């Protein structure tokens, strides 16, 4: 669910005459409404689906985003949705093309006609925390090419704002377990956001391992573990080492109640990519976990990076077990929670004092 390619999008003013709304954007996180003429959409459909309807396996295939086409005449009804794409060739003369020409300024049109830009992004246009993306080019062939050429960057724009919205909904200081966070900071020099319904299931200082669990034994269980290697080397940052480290630690600690089965990485659908995690070179892995005796499994996501200041290699890992449910949103929640991880050096002095004081209360 993360991609390593980033570009600086050209940000241009969309002049619609509409005032931004302070009301939050509506709709599911995984829906993107595509404003396009039906004939033009059919031409662009494959490129758009390949770009935005990326599949994750949980283990059943689930789209990260689902596209829903609407006509420009329906835009008033859907303009408060979270994710909107408006797309048409700039010079096709279609209704959507005319609309695109009406909402971008002359400088933007010139830049697009010169093939200097192809995308216009606008946050909070009609609703709070909304992203509206205008995709256009002088003609259909160039537009399709631009979408395919920049697929990862276009996808990342929606993934990023979706993560931001989800973090805002997950993070609530009222339900934050500061005492656990303070203990982790005091004992180990790092924190991760701990929601009220997570429990500190295992704390193994000898093996540098902490396990947080939510709803153990239920049909919608989630867990996070943090493992680190002291005096490590960046040489560990490769796919084979990550698999070996993860399987070693889960075989030892992620066991069934009878201790006759343990968690390991399943062979299918494992992916590893390079990302930037808080200005650190990081390997992001996602795939499926399973028991060595089979019968149970689910998706996981993980960040592994080397922290230069502490000479530690960190593995921050989140898993889901929810056999009766779609798991796309659940695994995104785990991903966003993992991104709350910070070392002591990244915390303000006030935050450190607040968390450490919570231990004494």
Confidence (pLDDT) at 359:
87
pLDDT in tens, 192-220: 999 999 999 999 999 999 999 998 888 89
Burial class (CB in 10 A: 0-12, 13-18, 19+), 111: middle
Out of 121, 151, 170, a domain closes at 170
> Residue 349 pLDDT more than 60?
yes
Please determine, for residue 16, whether its predicted confidence score (pLDDT) is greater than 60: no
> 19: pLDDT confidence band, cut at 50, 70 and 90?
low
In this predicted structure, the answer to whether residue 9 has a pLDDT above a threshold of 90 is no
91 shares a domain with 144: yes
Exposure letters 141-170 (e unless 16+ CB within 10 A, then b)? ebbbebbeebbebbbbbbbebbbebbeeee
Q: What would the mean pLDDT of 23-48 be, rounded to a whole number?
A: 97
Is residue 15 predicted with pLDDT exceeding 70?
no
In a domain, 16, yes or no: no
Q: Do 140 and 230 share a domain, yes or no?
A: no
Residue 29 has pLDDT above 90, yes or no: yes
Q: Are residues 132 and 151 in the same domain?
A: yes
**At 361, is the pLDDT very low, low, confident or very high (cuts 50, 70, 90)?**
low
Asked whether 201 and 213 are in contact (CB, 8 A), the reply is yes
Q: What is the pLDDT of the chain when averaged over all its residues?
A: 91
**Of 103, 137, 170, which residue is a domain's last?**
170
Q: How many domains does the chain have?
A: 2
- Banded pLDDT at 360 (limits 50, 70, 90): low
- Confirm whether 120 is domain-assigned: yes
Residue 10: is its pLDDT beyond 50?
Answer: no
Pick the last residue of a domain from 101, 135, 170.
Answer: 170
Q: Do 210 and 114 belong together in one domain? A: no
Q: Do residues 195 and 331 share a domain?
A: yes
In a domain, 65, yes or no: yes
DSSP letters along 153-167, please? Answer: HHHHHHHHHHHHHHH
Quote the domain boundaries for residue 264: 173-360
Residues 305 and 316 in one domain: yes
For the domain that residue 314 is a member of, what is the CATH number? 3.40.1000.10
The pTM for the full model equals 0.88
């Amino acid at each position: 669910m993360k991609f390593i390619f980033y570009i600086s999008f050209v940000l241009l003013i969309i002049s619609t005459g509409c005032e931004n709304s302070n009301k939050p954007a509506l709709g599911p996180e995984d829906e993107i409404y595509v404003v396009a003429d039906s004939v033009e959409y059919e031409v662009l459909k494959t490129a758009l689906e390949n770009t935005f309807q990326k599949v994750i396996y949980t283990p059943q295939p689930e789209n990260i985003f689902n596209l829903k086409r609407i006509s420009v005449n329906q835009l008033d009804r859907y303009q408060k949705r979270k994710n909107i794409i408006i797309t048409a060739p700039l010079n096709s003369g279609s209704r959507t093309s005319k609309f695109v020409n009406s909402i971008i300024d002359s400088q933007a049109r010139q830049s697009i006609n010169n093939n200097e830009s192809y995308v216009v992004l606008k946050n909070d246009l009609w609703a709070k925390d909304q992203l509206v993306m205008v995709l256009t080019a002088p003609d259909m062939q160039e537009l399709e090419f631009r979408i395919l050429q920049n697929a990862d960057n276009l996808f990342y724009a929606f993934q990023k704002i979706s993560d931001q919205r989800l973090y805002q909904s997950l993070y609530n200081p009222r339900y934050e377990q500061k005492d656990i966070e303070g203990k982790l900071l005091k004992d180990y020099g790092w924190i991760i956001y701990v929601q009220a319904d997570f429990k500190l299931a295992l704390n193994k200082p000898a093996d540098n391992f902490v396990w947080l669990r939510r709803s153990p034994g239920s049909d919608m269980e989630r867990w996070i573990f943090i493992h680190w290697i002291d005096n490590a080397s960046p040489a560990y940052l490769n796919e084979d080492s990550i698999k070996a480290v993860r399987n070693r630690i889960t075989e030892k600690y992620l066991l069934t109640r009878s201790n006759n089965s343990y968690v390991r990485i399943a062979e299918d659908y494992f992916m590893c990519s390079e990302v930037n995690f808080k200005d650190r070179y990081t390997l992001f892995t996602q795939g499926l976990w399973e028991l060595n005796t089979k019968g149970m499994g689910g998706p996981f996501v993980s960040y592994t990076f080397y922290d230069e200041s502490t000479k530690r290699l960190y593995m921050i890992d989140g898993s889901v077990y929810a056999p009766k449910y779609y798991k796309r949103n659940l695994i995104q929640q785990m991903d966003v929670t993992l991104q709350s991880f910070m070392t002591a050096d990244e915390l303000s002095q006030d935050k450190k004092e607040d968390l450490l004081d919570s231990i004494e209360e």
